[in-house]
């Protein structure tokens, strides 16, 4: 599966950029000073001392960007993993087992597809705002899985009809073994890409929630979204939109990240979607 994916140019480029951003977050946050170290040099434009200038409390924006990237990706990974897990359970077990279980899982996915999940998420996080990053990740994961469940469901439905599954079943293999040995290896690449896309949606959602102050606790956490929050709620100018060095970096980084994931997703479509297959 992965050698197939690697043949797609879109997937390769996208994956390289995503990897670079992950490394930037992890290594950068080790090399830069404390992102919450306050000083009296408020909202200074970029200089040789602070490559990306300083923020609302005189913190180094570059340090915030590195740690923010790491934290945003961490929340994204947790939320994306949680969403993928729910999606695999709901979108995978139902159609595999068939019968009533399939009916239930299908009806359930249909309901949640049109369910106002984003308003529900905003409602939940406004009531529980100021929590930990883990809580925010949990809330985002719990409300962002419907599309993933549907795509895993359709994938399992086609996989189930393949001959080798029938052979395995007729040879008396247990369901558990069939799922682990026959289905999982064929689904793994697909599930991983579902996870990556879920992760990117979660990163986007977290930054949006944090920007309006509904993300993790603002005084002890730095994410790409809280950086945007302190632009809108800064205490130094009535025109926060002139503080470009404060809001262009996190937004641009998010954009590059999301476009890279989009490229990965498009590359995956070339491989998995028979309608678009070109590699």
98 is a contact residue toward other proteins (CB under 8 A): no
Instruction: Provide, rounded to whole angstroms, the least separation between the CB of residue 253 and other proteins.
Output: 10
C-beta of 123 vs 184, nearer to other proteins: 123
Q: Which two tokens stand for residue 182?
A: 């026959």
C-beta of 96 vs 145, nearer to other proteins: 145
Choose which of 4, 26, 85, 124 interacts with other proteins (CB under 8 A): 124
Instruction: Provide, rounded to whole angstroms, the least separation between the CB of residue 98 and other proteins.
Output: 22
235 is a contact residue toward other proteins (CB under 8 A): no
Part of the chain binding other proteins (CB under 8 A), chosen from 24-32, 80-88, 176-184, 236-244: 236-244
179 is a contact residue toward other proteins (CB under 8 A): no
208 is a contact residue toward other proteins (CB under 8 A): yes
Query: For 218, how many CA atoms within 13 A lie in the half-sphere containing its CB?
Result: 19
Contact letters for other proteins, residues 126-165 (x by CB under 8 A):
xxxx-----------------x------------------
Q: Which two tokens stand for residue 77?
A: 């990974």
Question: Phi/psi at 7 (nearest 5 deg)?
Answer: -75, -20
C-beta of 39 vs 233, nearer to other proteins: 233
110 is a contact residue toward other proteins (CB under 8 A): yes
Helix axes 61-97, 244-272, angle to 10 degrees: 30
Residues 6+ apart with CB under 8 A from 170: none
Cα distance between residue 47 and residue 64, in whole Å: 16
Question: Phi/psi at 223 (nearest 5 deg)?
Answer: -130, 175
120 is a contact residue toward other proteins (CB under 8 A): yes
C-beta of 104 vs 123, nearer to other proteins: 123
Q: Are 144 and 205 in contact (CB under 8 A)?
A: yes
Q: Given the rule CB under 8 A, which residues bind other proteins?
A: 110-111, 113-124, 126-129, 147, 204, 207-208, 211-212, 214, 228, 231-232, 239-242, 244, 247-248, 250-251, 254-255, 258-259, 262, 266, 269, 275-276
């Amino acid at each position: 599966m992965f050698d197939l994916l690697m043949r797609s140019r879109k997937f390769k480029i996208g994956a390289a950029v995503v990897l670079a951003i992950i490394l930037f977050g992890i290594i950068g946050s080790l090399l830069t000073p404390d992102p919450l170290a306050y000083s009296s040099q408020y909202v200074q434009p970029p200089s040789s001392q602070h490559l990306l200038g300083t923020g609302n409390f005189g913190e180094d924006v570059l340090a915030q960007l590195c740690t923010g990237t790491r934290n945003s990706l961490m929340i994204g990974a947790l939320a994306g993993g949680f969403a993928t897990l729910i999606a695999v359970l709901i979108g995978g077990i139902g159609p595999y087992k068939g019968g009533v279980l399939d009916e239930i899982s299908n009806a359930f996915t249909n309901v949640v597809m049109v369910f106002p999940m984003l308003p529900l998420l905003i409602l939940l996080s406004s009531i529980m705002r100021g929590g930990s990053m883990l809580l925010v990740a949990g809330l985002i994961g719990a409300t962002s899985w419907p599309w993933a469940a549907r795509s895993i469901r359709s994938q399992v439905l086609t996989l189930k009809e393949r001959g080798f599954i029938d052979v395995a079943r007729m040879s008396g293999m247990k369901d558990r073994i069939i799922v682990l040995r026959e289905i999982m290896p064929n689904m793994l690449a697909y599930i991983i890409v579902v996870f990556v896309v879920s992760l990117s949606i979660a990163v986007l959602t977290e930054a949006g929630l944090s920007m309006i102050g509904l993300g993790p606790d603002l005084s002890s956490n730095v994410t790409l979204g809280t950086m945007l929050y302190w632009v809108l709620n800064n205490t130094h100018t009535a025109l926060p939109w002139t503080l470009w060095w404060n809001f262009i970096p996190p937004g641009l980084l998010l954009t590059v990240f999301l476009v890279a994931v989009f490229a990965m997703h498009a590359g995956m479509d070339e491989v998995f979607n028979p309608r678009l297959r070109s590699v």
